[in-house]
Every structure is written in structure tokens, then in C-alpha cells.
């Protein structure tokens, strides 16, 4: 069977997509097929192909059984490689020899917003609404209940999409913890700690607002990161550099000060997951 050779125009288009993928990986610090699918609006096949190319170029770590790959490329190295990608359609030489290679089958992942009795209503529903407006697959997960019904601080009853026991940890791409008391305390349990550790190790989104960032702090997730919380909980953000901003993103971690920052918090989640343009479109729509 004869081989099919790409035209120069097709190779240039592929290089342009690869450049966008590497830019995204450098911005995020880690990269996965799910992230590329969502942010570049491409299918799984193309996203997996880009992951393979980045691995061959040694831009990212080899497959190690986790969905997210860590970026190996420095900004200086990327400037050199980018110039080469922009000027040629030829195959790009590897940075150094491949030591390992494997492919992963990734199931459809989702963002999980965890709800426990005593959660703050606006801190949960507002970010949930904004993420759904952004086309993000987000599911609510009831913690500490048997029937998925969770009651907020002010007595609002919410039916979650699933209970914690029904959740498959392998499908978690990001975790969002609303505040409120005793809601945040009810999320400070070993089961949530394990999920946070797993998600963080895989480079997934970790987000918390109001009192909930203290749950992250006690698990060491905020070590050497800029973060914020509701006033009075700062000492529980172990290792964090406390910010004065209402919403703070540092790498894969986003924290916010409280209910008044719920819209900004939600838009920060959308920006992280879908990009600045989508977040800006939503902001224009809701403030029109």
C-alpha cells in the first residue's frame, strides 16, 4: 500500500497546532489529552497525536501511568524550538533520546464540585453555573450523605449528581471545594484528602473558596504557592504565601476569599479550563 505524504500546507497546519499545544503545556505546567481536547477544541485522536509528538521531542515526561504529563522544556529551549517549528515543515529532531514510550486510553473526565452539609450556597452554585455556561463537564458530588441530597448553611436543599461513594476517582480532572461552615469542615475527611492528593499529583485543577482552602493547606497542597482564604483561616494555609487578591491562581491551584468573590472565582475556573476568550465572553454576557 503506498504511503500518503502530507502537503507542505498540511505540515504547516500541524506545526501551528503543535505550537499551540506546547504553549498551553508551558502555561499550565502539565498537559493531558483531555486538556488539549478542551482548550484546542480538537478530538481525542488529534490530542493523543500531539501528546505523542511532544513526548518524542522530549517536551514532556514519558508516560508514567498518569494522565497528566509534566513539561520538561524551559522557556529558553522553547524559543529555539518554536523558531524551528515556524520556519520548517521538516521533522523536528528530539531534544534527547526517548527513554520510555507508552500510550494511555483516557476515559471522559470531569470536574467535580463537592458538596457537604453546611456548604455556602453562592460559593457553590455560582461557579457551577459559570462552568456550565462555559461548556465544561462538571458534576456535583454529595459528601457524607446516602441519598445525594445536601443541605446548605441556610437550609437550601440540593440534589447532587452523585454521592462520593458513586464517584470513580479515575475520572476526576479537577476538584472544586466551596466554603461555608460546617461545610468546609465536612469536606475535611480522609476520602477527600486522598482524592485531592491524587488529583494534584496528576496536575488536575484544585480549587477552593472561603474557608475551604484550609483543607488544601492541611494536605500540603499550598506549599510555596500564592493563596487566599476567608479572613481568620490564614494560619491553616500551611506553607502558603498569603495574597491580598480576592482570587488567586498559582499553577493548577485556584483559591478565593469568600462569597463576594464567587463570580470572579467561577470565571477564573472557566479561564483555566477553557481559556481567556471563553471566560471573557461569559463575563460580557452576565454583566451586560
Q: What is the CATH number of domain 8-87?
A: 1.10.10.10
What is the bridge-based pairing of β-strands 138-143 and 162-163?
Answer: parallel
Q: What angle do CA 195, 111, 285 make, to 5 degrees?
A: 150
More confident residue, 64 or 271: 271
Tell me the H-state helices in 57-161: 75-87, 121-133
The pLDDT confidence band at residue 170, using thresholds 50, 70 and 90, is: confident
- Compute the mean pLDDT over every residue in the chain, rounded to the nearest whole number: 86
Report the predicted TM-score, pTM, of the whole model to 2 decimal places.
0.68
pLDDT for 272 equals 92
More confident residue, 64 or 269: 269
pLDDT for 74 equals 83
Which residues are known catalytic residues? 210
Q: Please give the share of the chain, as a percent, with pLDDT higher than 70.
A: 86
Q: What is the CATH number of domain 110-286?
A: 3.40.50.880
Region 201-205: mean pLDDT is: 88
How far is 236 from 215, CA to CA, in rounded Å? 8
pLDDT for 268 equals 97
Residue 239 has phi, psi (to 5 degrees) of 80, -5
pLDDT for 45 equals 72
| pLDDT at 219 > cutoff 70 | yes
Region 35-55: mean pLDDT is: 83
pLDDT for 260 equals 97
Of 67, 28, 62, which Cα lies nearest the Cα of 47? Answer: 67
The contacts of residue 117 (CB under 8 Å, 6+ apart) are 144, 145, 150, 151, 182, 183, 186
The pLDDT confidence band at residue 79, using thresholds 50, 70 and 90, is: confident
Q: Domain limits of the chain? A: 8-87, 110-286
Region 225-234: mean pLDDT is: 97
The pLDDT confidence band at residue 67, using thresholds 50, 70 and 90, is: low
How far is 159 from 176, CA to CA, in rounded Å? 17
Amino acid at each position: 500500500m503506498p504511503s500518503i505524504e502530507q502537503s507542505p500546507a498540511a505540515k504547516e497546519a500541524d506545526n501551528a497546532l503543535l505550537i499551540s499545544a506546547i504553549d498551553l503545556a508551558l502555561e499550565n505546567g502539565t498537559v493531558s489529552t483531555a486538556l488539549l481536547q478542551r482548550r484546542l477544541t480538537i478530538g481525542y485522536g488529534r490530542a493523543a497525536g500531539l501528546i505523542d509528538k511532544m513526548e518524542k521531542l522530549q517536551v514532556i515526561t514519558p508516560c508514567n501511568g498518569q494522565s497528566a504529563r509534566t513539561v520538561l522544556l524551559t522557556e529558553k529551549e522553547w524559543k529555539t524550538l518554536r523558531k524551528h517549528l515556524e520556519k520548517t515543515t521538516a521533522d523536528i529532531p528530539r531534544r534527547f533520546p526517548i527513554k520510555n514510550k507508552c500510550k494511555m486510553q483516557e476515559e471522559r473526565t470531569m470536574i467535580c464540585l463537592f458538596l457537604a452539609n453546611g456548604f455556602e450556597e453562592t460559593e457553590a452554585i455560582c461557579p457551577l453555573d459559570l462552568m456550565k455556561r462555559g461548556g465544561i463537564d462538571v458534576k456535583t458530588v454529595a459528601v457524607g450523605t446516602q441519598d445525594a441530597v445536601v443541605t446548605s448553611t441556610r437550609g437550601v436543599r440540593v440534589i447532587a449528581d452523585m454521592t462520593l461513594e458513586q464517584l470513580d476517582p479515575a475520572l476526576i480532572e479537577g476538584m472544586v471545594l466551596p466554603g461555608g461552615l460546617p461545610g468546609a469542615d465536612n469536606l475535611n475527611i480522609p476520602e477527600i484528602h486522598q482524592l485531592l492528593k491524587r488529583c494534584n499529583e496528576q496536575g488536575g485543577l484544585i480549587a477552593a473558596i472561603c474557608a475551604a482552602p484550609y483543607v488544601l493547606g492541611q494536605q500540603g497542597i499550598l506549599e510555596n504557592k500564592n493563596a487566599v482564604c476567608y479572613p481568620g483561616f490564614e494560619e491553616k494555609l500551611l506553607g502558603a504565601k498569603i495574597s491580598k487578591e480576592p482570587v488567586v491562581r498559582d499553577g493548577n491551584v485556584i483559591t478565593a476569599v469568600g462569597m463576594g468573590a464567587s463570580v470572579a472565582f467561577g470565571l477564573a475556573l472557566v479561564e483555566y479550563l477553557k481559556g481567556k476568550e471563553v471566560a471573557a465572553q461569559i463575563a460580557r454576557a452576565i454583566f451586560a
